[in-house]
Chains A and B, each alone.
Chain A
Amino acid sequence: MTFWNTRTGLSLLASLLCLVLITLTIQEDDRMRATAVQQEGANAEIGADLYEQHCRKCHGGRGEGVGQLGPALSNRHFFTERKSEVGWLDSLDEYIVATTAHGRMMATRPLYAGNGLTAVMSPWLIRYGGPLREDQIRSLTRFVMNWEATALGKVKLKSIDLPPSDFSDPQTVREGMQVFHTHCASCHAIKGKKDPQATGPSLDGIARTAGNRLSKVSAADYIRQSVLIPDAFIVEGFSQEVEMQSSCGAVLPEDQLQSIIAFLLQQYD
């Protein structure tokens, strides 16, 4: 019989086991709290990825909103007024979860009225025909709620000088020409080619004029804003009533929008 099989040995082993259990018990609350915080962070990362895939095109890369397509999700109004605006009694988290899961059949703001044929925002939960699970929608919500600190001015982010998008890439320009002829050419003329029914201004020389129209706004930004927010800069002679249809610019995927900008920036003459 070895020492560990004696009464003393067994008592020592049992004491060691109790010591381990007591240590783990003491640490458990802290561990659970730390895990919860870590999961929140990890879920925000997952939400950021999902936002890039599914939400960015309508609500903007940084939640700034896109034209008449999707309202801003990162401004002060959203975090301070939105709940009372729609009469929502629960938390803002639950409002985002509910809206994302169920979608929105009708707009609550006139600006985002949709085209009257489809839901303003489709449901995103798998159960209602969308592509996302509930945990994914909660991760998305975690990401959107993470804008609160900057929206309320508690945190200010530093900006960095990003390299410009490569608008001179010939492949991008070629793709932009195809997208332009599909979506824009029926209203806008390029090099004299214009539909008799066209209602928009000619875009000949747009690369030059876009850069000169407004100080502090680059040609690329001018074109981008004009496509996304049709009534941002109305050209003289064109009434505000004759706006670009929302189905033109606001629903274009980001890569197509980029390619159109690249193409229009080549139109000097």
Chain B
Amino acid sequence: MYLQDPEISCYSSSNRKREHSNGIYQSFFRHIRPRRYPQASLRFDHTFHLGFWTTFLFTVEIVTGVLLMFYYVPTPEAAYQSIQRLAADIPFGQLFRDLHRLAGDLLIIVAILHLLRVAVTGSYSESRRFTWVTGMILLLLILVLAFSGYLLPWDQLSYWAVTVGTSLFQAIPLIGEPLQQALRGGTEIGEDGLLRFYVLHVLILPGIMIFFLAIHYYRLVRLHGISLPLDATSSREPSSMQWIAFWPEVVARETALILTGMAVLLLITGFLYDAPLAAPANPLHTPSHTQAPWFFLWIQGLLTLGATSFTGIILPMVFILAVTAYPYLDRGGRRPIKQRPKMLAALLVIGLSLSLFSYLGSREDDSYRQSPEGILNTFAPRDGGGPLHVLPYDALNDGVYMLIKPLPRPAGASELGLLIAAINVELQRIIAAKHFTEATGFLIIEPWQAGMKRITLRFTGLLPASPDRQTFERQVFRHDAAFQKDSGKTDR
């Protein structure tokens, strides 16, 4: 059957033997790459080179990951420090980390786009069915690989994202609890859990991924080749097709792509992007809003419909299995997407559903904002961040600013004035809703040390359930040097 396929006939065993006998496969690279490619298969508007970019980004991940391994220490006591050391003491350490993080996120996006491209062009039929399956396995491995790496910086963001992510296992009947504990190394993520995620991330998962990548690549290169655009398959005889030699044309094309990709990645990571690093992980303090990593938000969103094994496990599993098995179900042969309205509709429904559930998963539960404690969490979260942390240090004019009553706008500190007005709005909102009555509020900014200020946000008033006045207070410390003037970011 394969020999009748014009896309693969050029890779037939007889050809290979002839090529061997001609001594073409003398080098390693020539052995693993075809000698020539159908010109139409390399058309940009057909594949967008998405498979190439996926491999490229995975290679970037491996190279930068190995470099990061020289400095990263996988223990709760030292992990965060080693990330800080990487940024401040190791030349290009921050760049490697930024590249690793950005390439990891891009890898997920590009792999999904690659899958989408194959689905739209219908390049999954006949001999390519199992290649699609290996592609799906690779996509899942990329997601798990990203998830396992998410924990390693050991900051609040990663710690609680992974805690939320691993809690999804609880939805699995019978084995959910033991599976969760095996992954976390106990009931909570600690020293053992971090080490397990590290070993999974740097050894086990990349090993499995390389194995499936080899199968995927072998089938692509040795069995059926890159698919041809539909309009180029009219001529099914290899002799009538136009070909591009691997050396030097394809090598030149790929070198140009690699140089462009590296330049773009370096420009973004060098000048525009910093891998996030929140406050150090604090297992004793749950942030007011926790969410799974962005690529698993759709599962978290599904769980908002009800945390059951159906929404948390069965539904995602059925979805993944259906997508994986789709080439075996679709017997219509390869046709343009316009002639496959069901496929088009399914892709639209899947895309909209994933977006909707991701939105639901990322949405903050704003019911807690109906209390003074909620306002404190909004403006001065316990684990850093929040508006009080991103206000420029120079805008923090010392003083006692009383809330509720009309405030004189602090001279020369319009950003502070706007922030005070925003706090006032929130406070007025809960007063109007009678969640907090007879309330007074203060924002106190006082010099605390040289180059450091203490900001106190305090509300006093009556809660509906209690006859006594109660005080809610949160303090935030700001150091002049912690604020990056150029980007407006703090390291917490």
Contacts and interface: CB of A to CB of B under 8 A. Distances in A.
Interface residues of B, number: 59
Interface stretch (B140-148, B406-414, B416-424, B444-452): B444-452
A163 B483 contact: no
A138 B482 CA distance: 16
A5 B444 contact: no
A23 B442 CA distance: 47
A17 B266 contact: yes
Interface in B255-310: 255-256, 259-260, 262-263, 266-267, 270, 279-280
Best-surrounded residue of A1, A9, A24, A48 (most CB of chain B within 10 A): A48
Interface in A22-56: 23-24, 27-28, 31-32, 34-42, 44-46, 48-49, 52
A45 B81 contact: no
A48 B252 contact: no
Interface residues of A, number: 57
A161 interface: yes
Given A48-B452, A169-B469, A17 B259 contact: yes
A45 B263 contact: no
Interface in B449-492: 449-452, 454, 460, 468-471, 475, 477-484, 490-492
B447 A46 contact: no
A161 B445 CA distance: 11
Contacts of A6: 252
B444 A162 contact: yes
A166 interface: yes
Contact of A4 (B76, B80, B256): B256
Given A48-B477, A162-B444, A155 B450 contact: yes
Contact of A42 (B267, B444, B491): B491
Given A32-B88, A38-B491, A163 B468 contact: no
23 contacts: A1-B249, A4-B256, A13-B259, A20-B267, A38-B491, A39-B88, A42-B491, A44-B452, A44-B477, A45-B452, A45-B479, A45-B482, A46-B384, A48-B452, A135-B280, A136-B280, A146-B449, A146-B479, A147-B449, A155-B450, A160-B399, A162-B400, A162-B446
Interface of A: 1, 4-6, 9-10, 13-14, 16-17, 20-21, 23-24, 27-28, 31-32, 34-42, 44-46, 48-49, 52, 62, 126, 133-136, 138, 143, 146-147, 149-150, 154-155, 157-158, 160-163, 166, 169-171
